[in-house]
Amino acid sequence: MVKYYENITIFKFDWTQVVRGFFQRYPNPHSSHVLSEDTISREVKNGKLYSKRLLTKTNRVPKWGERFISKNIVKIVEESIVDPEAKTLTTYTRNLGYTKVMNYNFFAILLLVNQLCAAVLPTETSLVQNVCKFLYNLTQSNIKLHGRTFVTCKRWILEALEFADPLAQVDVLIAIKSFLHFGYFDDINHHVRLLLKDKGLLMKHLNPLCNPWSEINFHALGCLEEIVTNKSNNHCLSDEFTYLIKNIIFKILSLLPYHNDDKLCYSKIINLCLHILHCMIIEKLILKSPDLIGEILGVVQAFLFYGIKGYSVTSPQLLRPAAMNLPERVHIVPKCKNLKNHKARSRKTLAKKNTSDSGNNAIPEHTGISKYSSDSDTSDTEINNSIHIDSKVRLGAVRLLQILVEITRSKEIFGYWPQIVATGSRNDARVLTRSILVEPVSKVRQNVLCALTELLIDAKPFLIHAEDTNHTSFITFFGTVCLMVKELHFTLSLILLAEKNVAVLTHALKCTAALVQGTPYERLKPGLATKLVRNCKPHIFHKDPTVRVAALSIFEAFVSSEPITQEILNILAKQTVGEIGSESSQFDTSSISDIGTEEEEIDVEDIENSTNSCNEITSISKDENACLLVRVCLQNISNKSVNTPVRLQSLKLMGRLVFNTGNLIFPHLENVTTALISVMEETENQVILHACRVLEIMSGCLANTETYSNGILFWNIIFESIISLAQTSRTILREAACDCLGSISGNVFTQLSRQRVILIITILFGAVRDEESAVRAAGLRALGMLVTLPSLEHATGFLMDLADTVCLAFEDKNLGVRVKSAWALANLCDCLSRQKQHEDVEPFPLEDLLPKLYHISVKATKDNDKVKCNAVRAIGTILYLCPQKYILSDTTIGLDALIKCAVLGNDMKVRWNACRALGLVLSHDPDTILPSSWKDQVFPALSTLICDSPNFKVRTNAAWALSSCNNYGKYTVMLWKNIVLAFENAQHVPSYVEYPHRDALIQQLCLTLSCVAAHTEKSELQSLWIEIGDHLEEISNFMKQFQETVLPEKLGDLIKAKVQLAQHVKNAHSVEERQIAQSLANIFEKTNRYDNLDAITSTI
């Protein structure tokens, strides 16, 4: 028979080019096996082109086929149909050479199937078996039955399933499984109902009750597997049947084996059930329910130790999460541009990946169906290996856990940690930490470590709350978390000490790095980190580069911890390897053996081979006082023969050490800098790039002259190399060089020679005109940083050139360039503002410059949010600097842009920057610059923001903008009313992430209220009392708390408010006005709370 196949290729060309290429592909020097091409016929019918061509090709014949086929030259008929309207090209090829040995009559096959189904009765066991094998072979050859023949065949096979002898049932189930696999059943729900509903034909094999497990049960489950895994059917499957299949699987998993003789078959069935559950989860066929996570984890817990000595088979139990009040995930902004925090995996729609970290998570695609086994079963050579089958069950349980972790929110799964990850107390618990230690098969250990790594990464927001408490009668949940963290440290320490398989060791190191990232060492008793590092440190000298990278990443995680404890500082500062194996006698490593190595793809290596490397590294630079980590990193960086990933990880670690523990680096500044500069001559771009990043971080840290005074030495060493790098042909390195030049500190810049200063500025201005957008953006960023330096504040030529450059860059098509341009423009405007404050310096001519910057900035407010957030900064400063309205010709458009950006949009940074800009404008005689109606626009907008904005930083900046004004006009009473409402709304926090900003908001509202009160007129008292009279006690409480915590230098407006209201008390024309003024004045008294509210109310 002919083998059918389907091949899909995506061409990056339009349809016309692909069709033309198809007809012109021969003759082709790259297709020498095609000898000739002849067109037999070609005609156009109904707008379609029909062609028939004859191709002569050479054809390879297998050795065994040479006795049947003498010639290796064959004729191929190629028929094609081109439809230009539908844009389709359909081709059929037919081999004319081997028709005698490879041919079949489709209609004869249909006739034979009909006759067999009519003649063979379900009770004829032997015939039923052979017919089922024949039908199986038909489906494997992709011969699809249809019409009456398929209806007849389907009716016969279902009757055979119901009435055939048990000896024939296996072959019947295999045939049904094959039909399901190739999607023969169009109405899948109808056929599933026949098989499963009530007393369905399959149900008797899926509910064995007291009968022992057999191959029939296994193949019945295989039918369920095909229903679930067939992509053409599973999305059409109704919820009723997916729920039924799930219940069947859980029921089978809950049944214990009946006899020892059936253990092998039972293991295969359990493995297949776990695979079906895995498929249902990954295809989203199981409806979410409150108990689903607990049910799945119960299954994982029951079979995680299946087949391991000392652990009996148990039925899965529904697990319940621990009751707890977990905080929300808080986004942490990295403190340094080049040091990004490790991000947790985002919760997006589960995508099917071809590869994974462990290489074992992906479900294999169906390319065919095996006759007597499912995809999840084992080969014939393994079927008698009970140990291997048991390990497959454990592997299936771990993969089930992995897929559950991928699709479940970390907050939902963290409550199950004490039952599935680590107990913190019991040694016999069925948890992952115990599984790693007793699991004999390295492949399973590897997957367990992968799952544990994902769990640790997701749980980082919760692990940071672990607290080490003394033993009491009651332990809090986060005290339990502390015990789990300690158990994880102990377990991974054992693994790092005893594991010899490279793949498992690598994953153990990655898991350890994830644990270190999530552990709050400052909240725990010292000792945990020391024990972990003792067993980790030898691996930084391992001969396998992957292991070395993973080991160095652990130290990077330690250096990244905040705050760095004294214990970690001591670890990082060690100058020798120390006693690597000092505690090996305490550990029982007999349980971490490695059997089943026949299935491993990675050779087993002994880490003892790393001893020589260890001795070699530690002997380097013995006369230096640098710590071991610094010496190892420098050796890796300087040695070109070291594997590139190891060098890159060493550079990343160096960057972290510089930023967080500079006292370990800067005493050896010259040696470290020289080593980093030495790699600039290499051809490996990534190594040079990472070295530049480390130099940039060092430059930024050296800007703190109080701590480090070696800035000029540092720049003298690197200057020539960075300048040379800025002129290289490699884009990414030119970008890195610009970043380095922009990080130079003000103190160092003033000490550079004029020639070097001019060279730096010239190169950066040249970079802005580079062909590559990344270099242009880096050049603008560097210029934006240099303009903040005091030494360039009065360099008129530089400022004018920068203004022209920035305005030109706003026309760039690349968004990144425009973003950096807007940032540089805002910094330039800030520089002009600072310059204005120096009265002893000749003022900068703003009349010509400001209009150009103003119009560019207003135009930028219509760009992307990342451009807007700095454009509004520039507008605010320009309006603040402008001495007269006529210079900008129309200040209305600038004001409108600021108000629009403050009120509208989803980017909160744009909104609070716009509020800040409005406050700056209002602080400097707004009546002179802004249109006459500015109060009608600004005050209502800011009043709404302080009450209703979902972001507390926006509310705070809007309140600050209101406090910057010196005249509120008719809006004084309205502002009082809205500030009182803002106090009330601040008590309702819309999101957990806003809590840290609440106190700042309350303090700013108090300052703003003081400012508004200081400008309240006597004529406004009565109308003001009507609005806020019922809220005096509430306001008084806020003001009292404010005065207890505020710094004395911020009390200026509060004192002015007291004075103003005291003046109104003296000058009031009526008793009512005097009492109102006194009541308002009492708000601003620290100790004099409002006591006579009843008396005043009765008087009024």
pLDDT of residue 437: 92
- Show the DSSP H helices in 86-140 as ranges: 106-119, 125-140
What sign has the CA pseudo-torsion 219, 221, 222, 227? positive
Q: Return the H-helix or E-strand segment holding 436.
A: helix 432-438
Q: Look at the chain and count its residues.
A: 1100
150 with 235, same domain: the answer is no
Check: CB of residue 902 under 8 Å from CB of residue 951.
no
977 with 1039, same domain: the answer is yes
Task: Kindly state the average pLDDT of the residues 953-965.
Answer: 92
Instruction: Look at residue 617 and tell me whether its pLDDT is greater than 60.
Output: no
pLDDT of residue 97: 67
Domain end marker among 286, 309, 338: 286
Instruction: Look at residue 650 and tell me whether its pLDDT is greater than 90.
Output: yes
pLDDT of residue 10: 67
Domain end marker among 286, 306, 339: 286
Mean pLDDT of the chain: 82
Q: Which two tokens stand for residue 1016?
A: 């309240």
Reported confidence tier of residue 1099, pLDDT bands at 50, 70, 90: very low
Cα gap 345→454, rounded to integer Å: 8
Reported confidence tier of residue 121, pLDDT bands at 50, 70, 90: very high
% of the chain surpassing 90 pLDDT: 35
pLDDT of residue 291: 86
118 with 204, same domain: the answer is no
Establish how many alpha carbons lie within 13 A of residue 52's alpha carbon, considering only the half-sphere containing its beta carbon.
6
147 with 273, same domain: the answer is no
* pLDDT per position as a tens digit, 703-747: 765 554 678 888 989 999 999 989 988 888 899 999 999 989 888
pLDDT, greater one: 334 or 320? 320
150 with 30, same domain: the answer is no
Q: DSSP labels for 990-1053? A: SSGGGHHHHHHHHHHHHHHHHHHHHT--GGGHHHHHHHHGGGHHHHHHHHHHHHHHS-GGG-HH
Q: How many domains does the chain have?
A: 4
Highest mean pLDDT among 590-594, 749-753, 782-786: 782-786
pLDDT, greater one: 117 or 1090? 117
pLDDT of residue 86: 82
- 3-state SS, 579-614, equals CCCCCHHHCCCCCCCCECHHHCCCCECCHHHHHHHH
Q: Which two tokens stand for residue 894?
A: 């600038």
Task: Kindly state the average pLDDT of the residues 353-370.
Answer: 42
Determine the angle formed by the axes of helices 292-303 and 263-282, rounding to 10 degrees. 150
Q: Which two tokens stand for residue 396?
A: 């299936």
Q: What are phi and psi of 53, to 5 degrees?
A: -125, 155
Nearest CA-CA partner of 477 in 485, 467, 487: 467
Q: Which two tokens stand for residue 596?
A: 């089943």
CA dist list (Å): 102 to 1, 97, 112: 5, 9, 19
Name the DSSP letter for residue 944.
H
Instruction: Look at residue 347 and tell me whether its pLDDT is greater than 80.
Output: no
Task: Kindly state the average pLDDT of the residues 532-550.
Answer: 93
pLDDT of residue 148: 87
* pLDDT per position as a tens digit, 462-510: 888 888 877 666 677 778 888 899 999 999 999 999 999 999 999 999 9
Reported confidence tier of residue 382, pLDDT bands at 50, 70, 90: very low
Cα gap 719→725, rounded to integer Å: 10
Cα gap 785→779, rounded to integer Å: 10
Instruction: Look at residue 869 and tell me whether its pLDDT is greater than 60.
Output: yes
118 with 163, same domain: the answer is yes
% of the chain surpassing 70 pLDDT: 82
144 with 253, same domain: the answer is no
Instruction: Look at residue 143 and tell me whether its pLDDT is greater than 90.
Output: no
- Show the DSSP H helices in 235-316 as ranges: 239-254, 263-282, 292-303
Name the DSSP letter for residue 1086.
S
pLDDT of residue 182: 82
Q: DSSP labels for 488-547? A: HHHHHHHHHHH--BHHHHHHHHHHHHHHHHH--GGGS-TTHHHHHHHHHGGGGG-SSHHH
Reported confidence tier of residue 1053, pLDDT bands at 50, 70, 90: confident
Instruction: Look at residue 921 and tell me whether its pLDDT is greater than 70.
Output: yes
pTM over 0.85: no
1008 with 1075, same domain: the answer is yes
pLDDT of residue 7: 60
154 with 86, same domain: the answer is no
pLDDT of residue 647: 94
Phi-psi region of 923 (alpha: psi -120 to 50; beta: other; left: phi over 0): alpha
Cα gap 809→768, rounded to integer Å: 8
pLDDT of residue 864: 92
Cα gap 685→674, rounded to integer Å: 18
pLDDT of residue 611: 44
Instruction: Look at residue 888 and tell me whether its pLDDT is greater than 50.
Output: yes
Q: How many CB atoms lie within 10 A of CB 8?
A: 4
Looking at residue 622, its amino acid is K
Which residues have a Cβ under 8 Å from the Cβ of 109 and sit 6 or more positions away?
138, 143
**CA distance from start to end of the chain:** 105
Cis peptide bond upstream of 27, omega within 30? yes
Domain end marker among 61, 95, 129: 95
Examine residue 865 and state whether it is found in any structural domain, yes or no: no
Q: What b/e sequence results for 1030-1039 when a residue is b if at least 16 CB atoms lie within 10 Å of its CB, and e otherwise? A: eebeebbebb
Examine residue 273 and state whether it is found in any structural domain, yes or no: yes
179 with 32, same domain: the answer is no
Reported confidence tier of residue 801, pLDDT bands at 50, 70, 90: very high
Task: Kindly state the average pLDDT of the residues 859-888.
Answer: 90
pLDDT of residue 1090: 44
Instruction: Look at residue 211 and tell me whether its pLDDT is greater than 80.
Output: no
pLDDT of residue 469: 74
- Show the DSSP H helices in 662-742 as ranges: 669-678, 685-702, 711-725, 731-742
Examine residue 267 and state whether it is found in any structural domain, yes or no: yes
Diameter of the chain measured on Cα atoms: 126
Task: Kindly state the average pLDDT of the residues 91-104.
Answer: 67
DSSP bridge pairs for 49: 44, 82
133 with 246, same domain: the answer is no
Examine residue 1087 and state whether it is found in any structural domain, yes or no: yes
Q: Which two tokens stand for residue 987?
A: 């008590």
Examine residue 693 and state whether it is found in any structural domain, yes or no: no
Q: What b/e sequence results for 275-296 when a residue is b if at least 16 CB atoms lie within 10 Å of its CB, and e otherwise? A: bbbbbbbbbebbeeeeeebbbb
Task: Kindly state the average pLDDT of the residues 913-922.
Answer: 92
Q: Which two tokens stand for residue 822?
A: 């807007």
Examine residue 964 and state whether it is found in any structural domain, yes or no: yes
Cα gap 170→244, rounded to integer Å: 23
Identify the weakest region by mean pLDDT among 223-232, 274-283, 363-372: 363-372
Cα gap 51→71, rounded to integer Å: 28
pLDDT of residue 340: 54
199 with 91, same domain: the answer is no
* pLDDT per position as a tens digit, 149-194: 888 998 998 899 888 888 898 999 999 888 888 877 777 787 788 8
Task: Kindly state the average pLDDT of the residues 329-357.
Answer: 47
Instruction: Look at residue 593 and tell me whether its pLDDT is greater than 70.
Output: no
Q: What are phi and psi of 542, to 5 degrees?
A: -60, 150
pLDDT of residue 94: 77
Query: Tokens 């060092």 sit at which residue?
Result: 698
Examine residue 419 and state whether it is found in any structural domain, yes or no: no
Nearest CA-CA partner of 605 in 613, 614, 594, 615: 594
Examine residue 696 and state whether it is found in any structural domain, yes or no: no
Cα gap 973→517, rounded to integer Å: 52
Instruction: Look at residue 773 and tell me whether its pLDDT is greater than 90.
Output: yes
User: Which contacts qualify for 332-337: CB closer than 8 Å, 24 or more apart?
Assistant: 335/659, 336/659, 336/697, 336/700, 337/696
* pLDDT per position as a tens digit, 222-271: 888 888 887 666 567 788 888 888 888 888 888 877 665 577 888 888 99
Q: Which domain, by its residues, includes 208? A: 190-286
pLDDT of residue 371: 55
Identify the weakest region by mean pLDDT among 25-39, 106-120, 544-558, 824-838: 25-39
